[in-house]
Amino acid sequence: MHTPWNEFVPLLWEGLLVTLEVAIYSAAAAILLSAAGGLCRVSASPAVQWLAKIYIGLFRGIPLLVLLIWVYFALPFAGVELPKVAAAVLAIGLNYGAFGSEIVRSAIQAVPPGQREAAVALNFTPAQRMIHIILPQALVRMLPPFGNLLIELVKATSLIYFITLSDLTYQAMILRNNFLPSTAQIFGLLLVIYFLLSTVISTGVGWLERRLTEGRV
Amino acid sequence: MWDWHYAWSILPGLIASLGTAFSATFWGFIIACLGGLVLAGASRSRITAVRLASRGFVQFVRNTPLLVQLFFLYYSLPMVTGIAPSAFLTGIVGLGLHFSTYMSEVYRAGIDAVPKGQWEAAKALNFNGRQTWITVVLPQAIPPMIPVMGNYLIIIFKETPVLSAITLVETLLTAKNMTSASFRFFEPYTLVGILFLLICLAMSLLLRVVEIRYNRFTTGGKKESRKPAERRTNDKSANPVANREVYPG
Amino acid sequence: MTNPQTLSPIVKYTRVRKSFGDLEVIKGIDLAIAPGEKVALIGPSGSGKTTLGRMLMTLEEPTDGTIEVDGGHLWHEEKNGKLVRAGEKHLHRMRGSIGMVFQHFNLFPHMKVLDNVTAAPRKVLRLSKEESRARALEMLDKVGLADKIDMYPSQLSGGQKQRVAIARALVMHPKVMVFDEVTSALDPELVGEVLEVIKGIAEQGEMAMLLITHEMDFARDVADRVVFGVEGRIVEEGPPEEIFGNPQSDRLKAFLGRFL
């Protein structure tokens, strides 16, 4: 059986570009929301903490697919109509920002309390304590779980298939419709591409982790 | 924008569709737990081929999307093998296989968390392999795993909407069908979101109760590690298995 | 070594109480430390010695009573003529006179030794890079670690880490320094080097010290006054010769008996 591999490449390439585009923007949004959410979650102000808790609880409790469908199909009826990429980035960003906030919170709370005390003893202001002492130490602890989160995010971009955004998965389905006998090969190839993307991310995060802990572990 | 009358009318249908979602969750979870056991065992095998195959499988499945795996199973498998299972069967197998890889990690972490000294004490008392596992290791390894496994149950439940892609009529697809019939999108999708939110909240609270029950039987948790950049110890909880959680949940 | 108590005290605890939930750890303490005075605080575990030091360093808030530092209230500030609970700004101002060395060092693991010592001068005192570095080098030299400035804390021994911690605290020139059981976490053979350093600092005179310690010989050597506390109360206090040579109370006798 002849598998027309070279027919797949152009469409999958286009799909890959869309996947990467959504992934990068969503990741940026998720990282920003994680930082904000995590810091608010450990804030001295109970009101701010409460707000963070609501955000985190809400967007961890609603499945991403449900949120995505809602943002793209239901939100327009409330007056807000978003283009596909924006809807995807918003949904994925909010969802993964919530999970990321918990990672940030955990990492900050995992820094030994003695560090904060030493910073107090040296008369650092609360902001200085966070910026110079706590966060640098929390950052290293955040990297492995964040790396995993990023991989989950890239995998989650496949859900934009549901809002007919032409990502890798969507293009694969189109290919399948045109090349039905090669269904297994197409999806197999798709799986391999996603696997490679994940591998690139883990390698990158691992490198970053090594760089940040040079000498001091 | 929001029609209460319509919302009330579709609510029973949506709640009824949860039955499929719960069923898929339950069976998917069972398959994941059993599959995870197989993988965990295979990963420790003395036969290199088996070990590499299972580790390779775990790595591959964990790093690829559930949706694509479902498509592969539902569309490719019938072509290759001639068997065409139902959407439900494919769905729970897909969920089960996908999450069995995460479960095997939970098992591995749970076993690793049992201090080496326990194995050595068992050996010193001349326990054989089976006795060591059943009397010494498993009773210590399993309790910390329970909260983590419970968490995965919730995660699997949240993944059931993805099964709508292979035409399984769970809650999201039910809502979608309602929108096609009524041309009203806001109420169905919003209600689905709220239903999932409430159920997940309830499940989390239940899980907390289980966790508290479990904590009463343990030795109060280990002291917080002071190693600077300890891999994956990012959670203050004394549960070393929870610390290794790699799925956002 | 001794300073006459003619000047007003640099630290003054007045009827200080501290409870953690239902547990009262400090049950009404009055203690004054004169400028430059070295006070050793001894007593069994649970006597609240560490808590007393931590309250001075603003790490724990007294449940009752007041602490005055260098003439001003630490935990209270004046607003419209009344004494109210101090805000962060006030605490920050008062904290400039207080320093602390911890039992578990608490060095910043992500910074090299030199950076550990220059961090506060740079960020808190806002000194220039050159000035901070000069001060830091001077202090590190004083504690005998000038050759380790480019190493990370993880590469040092316990005794070395503690000496860096001392330099880090000293470089801020506090008027009073709390030494919270600074040798308790060290291997026995490393204790001596740290005590030598502290002795050297004590001999220089200007800084008051609150030495919370189990090292009785050291307390006898360095302290101007020894305070013996049990379960949150001061039982006996006096010059070292009196406390160690002529203990009055039964509890002090029993406590010292363990160290003979």
Q: Residue B103's closest CA among B227, B245, B240, B249? A: B245
Low-confidence ranges of chain B (pLDDT < 70): 216-249
Domain assignment present for B82: yes
**pLDDT computed for residue A209 by the predictor:** 85
Taking only the tens place, the pLDDT of each residue in C65-102 is 999 999 899 999 888 877 888 888 999 999 999 999 99
pLDDT (0 to 100) of residue B106? 94
Q: Given this model, what pLDDT does residue B117 score?
A: 87
pLDDT at residue B217, rounded to an integer: 59
Question: Is residue C4 classed exposed, middle or buried when 0-12, 13-18 and 19+ CB atoms within 10 A define those classes?
Answer: exposed
Asked whether residue B227 is domain-assigned, the answer is no
Domain span at B16: 4-221+236-243
* Domain contains B138: yes
Chain B partners (3+ C-beta pairs within 8 A): A, C
DSSP state of C63: S
pLDDT 10s digits, C99-127: 999 999 999 999 999 999 999 999 999 99
Cross-strand partners of C212: C41, C180
Question: What is the domain count for chain B?
Answer: 1
Nearest residue on chain C to A114, judged by CA atoms?
Answer: C106
Residue B38 lies inside a defined structural domain of this protein: yes
Alpha carbons B26 and B34: distance in angstroms, whole number = 12
Q: What's the gap between Cα B125 and its chain centre?
A: 37
CATH of the domain at B116: 1.10.3720.10
pLDDT attached to residue A216: 66
Tens digit of pLDDT for each residue in A138-160?
998 899 899 999 999 999 999 99
CA distance A214 to chain C (A): 9
CB B96 within 8 A of CB B37: no
Residues 6+ apart with CB under 8 A from A122: C99, C119, C120, C124, C168, C169, C172
Contact A33/B at CB under 8 A: no
Q: What pLDDT does residue B135 have?
A: 84
What one-letter code names the amino acid at B229? Answer: A
ipTM over 0.95: no
Q: Report the length, in residues, of chain C.
A: 260
Domains of chain A in sequence order: 15-166 (1.10.3720.10)
Mean pLDDT across chain C: 91
Q: Does B226 fall in a domain?
A: no
Alpha-carbon separation of residue B21 from A69, A95, B174, B202, B215 (angstroms): 17, 21, 11, 16, 31
**Residue C45: other Cβ atoms inside 10 A:** 8
Average pLDDT over residues C56-69: 94
pLDDT value of residue A156? 94
The pLDDT value given to residue C54:
94
pLDDT at residue B94, rounded to an integer: 96
- pLDDT score of B223: 36
The answer to whether residue B181 sits within a structural domain is: yes
Strands C38-42 and C208-212: parallel
What distance in Å separates the CA atoms of residue B154 and residue B157, rounded to the nearest whole number?
5
Q: How many CA atoms lie within 13 A of C186 on its CB side?
A: 26
pLDDT at C84: 86
Question: Would an 8 Å CB–CB cutoff place C88 in contact with chain A?
Answer: yes
User: Could you count the other beta carbons within 10 Å of the beta carbon of residue C30?
Assistant: 11
3-state secondary structure string across chain B = CCCHHHHHHHHHHHHHHHHHHHHHHHHHHHHHHHHHHHHHHHHCCCCHHHHHHHHHHHHHHHCCCHHHHHHHHHHHHHHHHCCCCCHHHHHHHHHHHHHHHHHHHHHHHHHHCCCHHHHHHHHHCCCCHHHHHHHHHHHHHHHHHHHHHHHHHHHHHHHHHHHHHHCCCCHHHHHHHHHHHHCCCHHHHHHHHHHHHHHHHHHHHHHHHHHHHHHHHCCCCCCCCCCCCCCCCCCCCCCHHHHCCCCCC
Determine which of B189, B203, B245 to mutate to test the interface with A (most A C-beta atoms within 10 Å): B189
**What number is the average pLDDT over the span C47-65?**
93
In a domain, B157, yes or no: yes
Does B249 reside within a domain? no
Mean pLDDT value of segment A20-46: 95
Q: What was the pLDDT predicted at C6? A: 57
**This prediction's pTM:** 0.83
Question: Is the pLDDT at A217 greater than 60, yes or no?
Answer: no
How many residues can be counted in chain A? 217
What residues of chain B lie within 8 A of the CB of C154, using their CB?
A: 228
Per-residue pLDDT of B79-138, as tens digits, reads 888 888 899 999 999 999 999 999 999 999 999 988 888 888 888 888 888 888 888 888
- pLDDT for position B242: 45
Q: Could you tell me which residues are beta bridge partners of residue C14?
A: C66
Let me know: does C17 contact C65? Beta carbons within 8 Å. yes
Task: Tell me the average pLDDT across A60-80.
Answer: 92
Q: Distance (Å, rounded) from C-alpha C43 to C-alpha B224?
A: 28
Chain C residues with CB inside 8 Å of A209's CB? none
pLDDT at B153: 95
DSSP string, A113-171: HHHHHHHHHTT--HHHIIIIIIHHHHHHHHHHHHHHHHHHHHHHGGGGGGGT--SHHHH
| Two tokens, residue A173 | 């389905």
CA distance A117 to chain B (A): 15
> What is the pLDDT at residue A210?
87
Pairing assessment for the beta strands C98-101 and C11-20 based on DSSP bridges: unpaired
A76-80, C99-103, C131-135: least confident range = A76-80
Give me C238's structure tokens: 């006096």
Contact C228, C253 (CB under 8 A): no
The reported pLDDT for the residue numbered A73 is 92
Q: How confident is the model at residue A1 (pLDDT cuts 50, 70, 90)?
A: low
What are the chain C neighbours of B228 within 8 Å (beta carbons)?
A: 109-110, 154
Contact B18, B195 (CB under 8 A): yes
Give the residue among C6, C29, C63 at the shortest CA–CA distance from C237.
Answer: C29
Task: Return d(Cα A132, Cα A149) in angstroms, integer.
Answer: 25
How close A101 comes to chain B (CA, Å)?
Answer: 11
Question: Is A115 close to C106, i.e. CB distance below 8 A?
Answer: yes
